[in-house]
A and B are shown apart, each in its own frame.
Chain A
Amino acid sequence: MSKIKLLLVIGASLLITNELPAQGLLNRIKQKASQVADKVADKKIDEALGGSGSGNNSNKQGTGSTSSGSRKSNPSNTSGQGLVSTPPNVNENLSAAETAFKAGSYGDARYAVQQAMLGVELQIGQSILKSFPETIANLKKDTIEDQVTSTGWGWAGLTIHREYKTGDKQFTITVANNAIWMQALNMFFNNSGYAQQNNGEQKWKQIKVKGNRSVIEYDKSSGYKISIPLGQTSLAILEGVNFATEQDMINAANQLDLDAVKEKLGEK
């Protein structure tokens, strides 16, 4: 019985000792094959990109464990001129609404009025963007980030967005014509007992920006934020990243012509 046990132990040990070098060899072959595949793929990519950088390929061979299958992906879009900017024509849509209304097609009339309203709101938004200064707190305007969005739902929302930035300092303006946001902000003004401090640290407080009651907040990760109600249904949100002090932020906010924004939005 003991001989059988001894034979079993010897057999098992032989199997293990034979398998280990075989596994190592297989791994090395697999690694080599993968490296070759990567090298070929890189060469092809470089050729497709104009042949540059092929000399550095050898440096890119690292662990070589990337499978060639992961390189198969859908092409990225690199051409195309995008959509032509076509804000709805207000007069045409008003005429279309009139025609549809007379014909009793109220759904079509509604659609045309919504389009006309969209056209007017986009024009209002653009005129507000034009009223903003070229620079604020020595930060230059970044017109690429200019945005005017309208849902065409009337009361539901016209939003105007502008960014000013230099280096890591940024000032963002968002003007929203949105009654629901206003309700949230009015909570601050209507509840004088609402806590302004957490653990002795001031999180927000009320200030005045050009005579308008406002709320200033500070957050370590996002910086300063000033919310200014404009009339009955509009709101300006100013955000400052990497502004040194609260006063710097308020000074920047004071550079805005809020009365002009109010007037363009028809707010009193």
Chain B
Amino acid sequence: MTGGRSIRGEGAFWLLLLPMVAYLVIWRILPLLYTAWLSLADWNIGRGAPPRFIGIENYLRLLGDPRFHAAVKVSAIFMLVATAAEVVLGVALALLVNRPFRGQTIVQGILLVPMITSPVAVGTIWYILYNGKIGPLTYLVDRLGFGVQDWLGSTLTALPAIILADVWEWTPFVFLLALSGLQGIPETVVEAARIDGASAWKVWWYITLPLLRGVIVAAAILRAMDALKIFDTIFIMTGGGPGRSTESASLLVYRTAFTHFEFGYAAAMIMVVLALTTLLYWFYTRVPQEV
């Protein structure tokens, strides 16, 4: 994408370019810099005093804030477990399907459904499914002999229940990516191995999986970056509860800024989350892009 031909008429190009650049500077880049500055300031809008520069005090406070540690832990567990489950399930299903099949376009269309369903609706759907009075899950599990469970109301099951909703929403993404990766592997490579007498298992393990590695890693990092900022479904399903057992970092940022109005402290939290995301993004750019 470095090429690009030039056409004459410089002034016109600037007229086409500048509105967009100015817009992004005003609404994305300057606010980002302002957040960075705010993370070094003490500013509670509720008290009415203007922001006051306090250096790295907010960050020091974060180091000793158990509520922030717990929130980062929730986000990290959510990110790791959800991403792992989605990648394993998505890739396994793709391997099982493997070759193009009749009705594939229709199935691919159906699989887009969970992904484009609004996260608020996803939260609503699973809130209903888990509900003891109107959802089918409690009844089913009770009939199987595990007793009545309050899935979202117990600290033991609330986070796994939310993760399951995320797995429903995003496994298709990994599945579709892995499937297109698989169908890009030349038939001849697999044929050659078969002729040499490799069993189906060996072909999968020694040829298909290594060739698919780039796709799998890319999908995993994309999912991890997205999972790290989880907000909507948790906000809907538990609001961070019971207690604070499902309070993610994004949820805590929202509460700190707009319930307690501690803008400076919230900005410091944002910068920490941003650093983690940037790290993941850096890994992502190092993955060879094969698809």
Check if A and B associate: no
On A, residues with C-beta under 8 Å from B are: none
